[in-house]
Chains A and B, each alone.
Chain A
């Protein structure tokens, strides 16, 4: 059997893996780092322009080849499996969580505290923002103070967002530009944003994308990348009793399924996201470890988390021109805090330009067919008023049985059971849902009272966004999978990094937090290699 050896073996090729590999190369030059990714490398940046156009014109996948058809999961929110991971399609929103997210139990008696302090995490937020390249403006709230400025000035507010900011702030709430991983000036060898409006496939490279980090690491020979290679099992050493070191990652190249390969390393890092990380640990069950690897606590694949959301479309008196930059938005962090003596509700609040109710249509309100000039006249009449999309991600905590399990009825072509994710909120979250909904709908109504506004529709999310968890961190090995650095309690040379380590999912976009935690882990991984 072919065997590959390295100092560090990183399993997964998404944003966490990219940042980890990059930082390891800096902290410990000369370290051999091997990255294993099940999907393909899609490095043809010239083709990206064509793919973008075809996506716009025909609705084709903007990242053709980023899916492994037989490697799916029930309940997963994205099918991307490629070098770069889900962040290939990333919108680039880089909000931070808040200090409250790390102290839910201490402050509110809810969920659990995270096993690290806000000040500690904040340092790594700054590092993540520097590495990724974040453009933002500091918010007006004292609680959001930063120890370093944003690396770049914020994305300018378009005419539309300026109009919407004036409207929204007349309700008494502050709003400002959402921070984004997009260059507002040339940064880190990448160009300035050209406002192409298709951030899910940025044709210019102005939006951070981890595939670019991998390209550079490969060019400098800082890493070895084995793509199209699926890790199927993690195998511990025979010695070591109940807490052995990890010895081998067994894998198979998708083009040579009959020839298994194995990877040996001093340190293994599972960086495969919220779905495939706990899946691999569970899939590695054996007679010696019947519950899987790193799972003495029984918490692998549990406490699957994320945030719930409610949105609305609001019509208002404002001069809005849909299409100026509908990828950019306003944010308010006014409700990231909740007084401990008040009913608990925490959420972000975002506003985008919208064209809802202002699109061209085939039939008028009386059902009459419109053609030619009549379409334009009808469209223009409805476009006299503007529209906004508003949405709040709200804090919702996972139940212990919010789970990722192995589905015996769904297997890939190698016969491995595939994951099934079933999110479940804890009892306290369920109990306060009616009040949370009332609060948010009242907030939308408060906005709609300005400038002759009218709520056109409301909608409630049917999944948890920015999912995380499944290998939650904690100080107690009986109730968590890993420590605050992602080192598993059961295996000293096995780490899990990024999204799966989150105990709770916060109330705003998670990617920057996944990145910050990973960068903090990287220091510990580097130290472990040196020991």
Chain B
């Protein structure tokens, strides 16, 4: 299964979950989506290309919209603890994007127009200021840049990209051929991912 299909599979499935199951409906404005994409251009790897960036941003927004604050989490094994998902990380993003935008405007640009090198420096500094030490396993509102990175880099597609093979972790792949070395990623669609 190609990575594009993997991501489509996951998020089509999430999108298909009835709205009544999604609990707290959250939204992200069109303006914020533009700024989110500006962040994505810096924090996602260049080798996935512009279509890949668009796809990840769309998937991230779909994920955020599907978030259900208060849903019971996996309680674990050994020392189980009943916990609920905290408020949606989405609520923190607008302020974080506003802060990035304000700093860009000091340099006479909007965040989206800021040249890539300067945007990279600005976002890197914001991550340091936010005292974030590691990529979150799932977006947690710490900072939209690290949330987006955690979302992508902990995903199925990034795992394949890093190893340059089709692993397809957590997808239902069948047993046949699992004893073989995973097939290398090839051209075509993959070249754009």
A residues at B contact (CB < 8 Å): 49-50, 53-62, 64, 67, 69, 76-79, 89, 155-159, 162, 184, 192-198, 203-204, 319, 321-325, 359-363, 369, 371-373, 375-376, 379-380, 383, 462-463, 465
Q: Please indicate which of the listed interface residues A50, A77, A360, A373 has the most CB atoms of chain B within 10 Å of its own CB.
A: A360
Decide: A60 and B168 in contact? CB cutoff 8 A: no
Given A53-B14, A371-B123, A376-B47, residue A155 in contact with residue B175 (CB < 8 A): yes
Decide: B174 and A197 in contact? CB cutoff 8 A: no
Which 3 interchain pairs have the tightest Cβ spacing?
A323-B169, A360-B153, A194-B172
Given A184-B175, A195-B174, residue A362 in contact with residue B133 (CB < 8 A): yes
- Can you name 11 A-B pairs with beta carbons within 8 Å? A57-B14, A79-B80, A79-B82, A159-B181, A194-B175, A195-B175, A360-B135, A360-B162, A363-B134, A376-B161, A465-B78
Chain A neighbourhood of B123, CB < 8 A: 371
- Give the distance in Å from the alpha carbon of A373 to the alpha carbon of B10 in the complex: 24
Decide: B85 and A323 in contact? CB cutoff 8 A: no
Chain B neighbourhood of A375, CB < 8 A: 45, 149, 153
Given A325-B178, A372-B44, residue A55 in contact with residue B135 (CB < 8 A): no
- Give the distance in Å from the alpha carbon of A350 to the alpha carbon of B160 in the complex: 26
- Give the distance in Å from the alpha carbon of A209 to the alpha carbon of B13 in the complex: 24
Please, how many residues of chain B have a CB less than 8 angstroms from a CB on the other chain? 64
Decide: A60 and B133 in contact? CB cutoff 8 A: no
Tell me how far the C-beta of B62 lies from the nearest C-beta in chain A, rounded to whole angstroms: 10
Chain B neighbourhood of A159, CB < 8 A: 178-182
Query: B23-49 interface mask toward A, CB cutoff 8 Å, 1 = contact, 0 = none?
Result: 000000000000000000011111100
Chain A neighbourhood of B167, CB < 8 A: 321-324
Tell me how far the C-beta of A474 lies from the nearest C-beta in chain B, rounded to whole angstroms: 29
Decide: B13 and A49 in contact? CB cutoff 8 A: yes
Chain B neighbourhood of A383, CB < 8 A: 162-163
Chain A neighbourhood of B73, CB < 8 A: 59-61
Q: Please indicate which of the listed interface residues A53, A69, A157, A361 has the most CB atoms of chain B within 10 Å of its own CB.
A: A53
Decide: A373 and B46 in contact? CB cutoff 8 A: yes
For the complex with contacts A192-B174, A371-B43, 16 further pairs of A-B residues with Cβ separation under 8 Å are A49-B13, A50-B13, A53-B17, A56-B170, A57-B63, A58-B71, A61-B72, A61-B74, A77-B79, A78-B80, A196-B172, A322-B169, A360-B158, A371-B42, A372-B120, A376-B47
Given A53-B13, A324-B182, A361-B134, residue A197 in contact with residue B169 (CB < 8 A): yes
- Give the distance in Å from the alpha carbon of A400 to the alpha carbon of B23 in the complex: 49
Residue B171 is within 8 A (CB to CB) of chain A in the complex: yes
Given A50-B13, A55-B74, residue A194 in contact with residue B154 (CB < 8 A): no
B residues at A contact (CB < 8 Å): 10, 13-14, 16-17, 21, 42-47, 63, 66-68, 71-75, 77-80, 82, 85, 120, 123-124, 127-128, 132-135, 137-138, 145-146, 149, 153-154, 156, 158-159, 161-163, 165, 167-175, 178-182
Tell me how far the C-beta of A374 lies from the nearest C-beta in chain B, rounded to whole angstroms: 9
Tell me how far the C-beta of A40 lies from the nearest C-beta in chain B, rounded to whole angstroms: 13
- Give the distance in Å from the alpha carbon of A159 to the alpha carbon of B179 in the complex: 4
Q: Please indicate which of the listed interface residues B10, B128, B162 has the most CB atoms of chain A within 10 Å of its own CB.
A: B162
- Give the distance in Å from the alpha carbon of A157 to the alpha carbon of B177 in the complex: 10
Task: Closest A residue to B167 by CB, please name it.
Answer: A323
Decide: A195 and B169 in contact? CB cutoff 8 A: no
Task: Closest A residue to B162 by CB, please name it.
Answer: A379
Tell me how far the C-beta of B192 lies from the nearest C-beta in chain A, rounded to whole angstroms: 16
- Give the distance in Å from the alpha carbon of A463 to the alpha carbon of B78 in the complex: 7
Chain B neighbourhood of A55, CB < 8 A: 74
Tell me how far the C-beta of B100 lies from the nearest C-beta in chain A, rounded to whole angstroms: 13
Q: Could you say which of B47, B133, B161, B179 contacts A156, with CB atoms under 8 Å apart?
A: B179
Tell me how far the C-beta of B64 lies from the nearest C-beta in chain A, rounded to whole angstroms: 11
- Give the distance in Å from the alpha carbon of A54 to the alpha carbon of B138 in the complex: 12
Task: Closest A residue to B39 by CB, please name it.
Answer: A371
Tell me how far the C-beta of B14 lies from the nearest C-beta in chain A, rounded to whole angstroms: 6
Task: Closest B residue to A380 by CB, please name it.
Answer: B162
Task: Closest B residue to A56 by CB, please name it.
Answer: B170
Chain B neighbourhood of A322, CB < 8 A: 159, 167, 169
Chain A neighbourhood of B179, CB < 8 A: 156-159, 162
Task: Closest A residue to B62 by CB, please name it.
Answer: A57
Chain A neighbourhood of B14, CB < 8 A: 53-54, 57
Decide: A58 and B13 in contact? CB cutoff 8 A: no
Task: Closest B residue to A195 by CB, please name it.
Answer: B173
Decide: A197 and B170 in contact? CB cutoff 8 A: yes
Given A369-B124, A371-B43, residue A156 in contact with residue B85 (CB < 8 A): no
- Give the distance in Å from the alpha carbon of A319 to the alpha carbon of B181 in the complex: 9
Decide: A362 and B175 in contact? CB cutoff 8 A: no
- Give the distance in Å from the alpha carbon of A54 to the alpha carbon of B170 in the complex: 12
Q: Could you say which of B135, B163, B169 contacts A361, with CB atoms under 8 Å apart?
A: B135
Task: Closest A residue to B145 by CB, please name it.
Answer: A371
Chain A neighbourhood of B71, CB < 8 A: 54, 58, 60-61, 64
Tell me how far the C-beta of A467 lies from the nearest C-beta in chain B, rounded to whole angstroms: 10
Q: Could you say which of B68, B132, B178, B181 contacts A362, with CB atoms under 8 Å apart?
A: B132
Task: Closest A residue to B72 by CB, please name it.
Answer: A61
Tell me how far the C-beta of A84 lies from the nearest C-beta in chain B, rounded to whole angstroms: 16
- Give the distance in Å from the alpha carbon of A359 to the alpha carbon of B169 in the complex: 14
Chain A neighbourhood of B153, CB < 8 A: 360, 375, 379
Decide: A323 and B74 in contact? CB cutoff 8 A: no
Chain B neighbourhood of A362, CB < 8 A: 127, 132-135, 146, 149
- Give the distance in Å from the alpha carbon of A463 to the alpha carbon of B80 in the complex: 12
Tell me how far the C-beta of B63 lies from the nearest C-beta in chain A, rounded to whole angstroms: 6
Chain A neighbourhood of B180, CB < 8 A: 159
Decide: A196 and B175 in contact? CB cutoff 8 A: no
- Give the distance in Å from the alpha carbon of A531 to the alpha carbon of B80 in the complex: 44
Given A321-B165, A321-B182, A362-B133, residue A59 in contact with residue B13 (CB < 8 A): no
- Give the distance in Å from the alpha carbon of A59 to the alpha carbon of B71 in the complex: 9
